[in-house]
Amino acid sequence: MKKSVVVLAAFICMIIVSFAFTKADPPRYKNLKILPKDITKEQMDSVMHHFAGALGQKCSYCHMYNQEQKSMDFASDENKHKGAARGMLKMMYKLNRKFFEVKNSKDLNAKLEITCYTCHHGAEHPATKGLMTPMPPQGQPGPPPPSTNQ
Ligand code: HEC
Ligand code: HEC
């Protein structure tokens, strides 16, 4: 009788332990609203370096430094540039899907036509010229560069 109780207890322990090990990992990132929740660390690093490089900025352009923790708080939404970047990301997906027929534009491995770099080219503010700004006529060279010897 006693022996069977011990066996039963051991069995229950085994079940509890195996549950503890099979329980799904907690999500790696805490505050993703646009990017896929199952994004890997390598993919996240790649996306974030694209953002930074495309805008010619550092991580701190969009993310906050936490004084108490003495480290970057990447999950925080305090920095308004982070919110702007989320809007841009949505726009980027939509442009690819609606205007360039990239149906799987949210897929991290999709072959995108438009990325942050397409417009930003390493600058915070993309170079924009109004439709009414004079441009060189078609087939003709643009205005000569400003002279340097005057
Ligand atoms: C142009 C703005 C921008 C720049 C620059 C940027 N990020 Fe981000 N980052 C974001 C946005 C937006 C999100 C949230 C994406 C979402 O909601 O799906 C994010 C999310 C993250 C997260 C996930 C945080 C969490 O737990 O939810 C990490 C980690 C991160 N960024 C790291 C970095 C690193 C490291 C750099 C520098 C190499 C960097 N970021 C540069 C905009 C930026
Ligand atoms: C279709 C062109 C286009 C694409 C694609 C694009 N952007 Fe932008 N972005 C703009 C324009 C235009 C502005 C506003 C310019 C200005 O403020 O001078 C802007 C502004 C921003 C700003 C705000 C700057 C500020 O002054 O607050 C951030 C941040 C930003 N973009 C991030 C991104 C990120 C990240 C991506 C890729 C996910 C992206 N953009 C893709 C055109 C684009």
Q: Which ligand is nearest to the CA of 45?
A: 1
First CA to last CA distance, the chain: 106
d(CA 65, CA 54): 21
Q: Which ligand is nearest to the CA of 118?
A: 2
**93 touches 106 (CB < 8 A):** yes
CA-based radius of gyration for the chain: 26
Give, in degrees to the nearest 5, the angle at Cα 11 between 10 and 15: 115
Summarize pLDDT for 68-88 with one digit per residue, the tens: 999 999 999 999 999 999 999
How many Cβ atoms from other residues are within 10 Å of residue 97's Cβ?
A: 16
pLDDT value at residue 149: 54
**% pLDDT > 90, the chain:** 68
73 vs 148, higher pLDDT: 73
Which residues are CB-neighbours of 16 under 8 A, at least 6 positions away? none
Summarize pLDDT for 105-145 with one digit per residue, the tens: 999 999 999 999 999 999 999 998 899 998 888 777 666 66
Give the mean pLDDT of 17-29.
68
The residues lining ligand 1, judged by C-beta closer than 6 Å to any ligand atom, are 29-35, 44, 48-49, 51-52, 55, 57, 59, 61-63, 74-75, 81-82, 85-86
* Per-residue confidence band for 13, with pLDDT thresholds at 50, 70 and 90: low
Q: Is the CB of 51 under 6 A from ligand 2?
A: yes
d(CA 59, CA 52): 6
**118 touches 54 (CB < 8 A):** no
d(CA 22, CA 39): 20
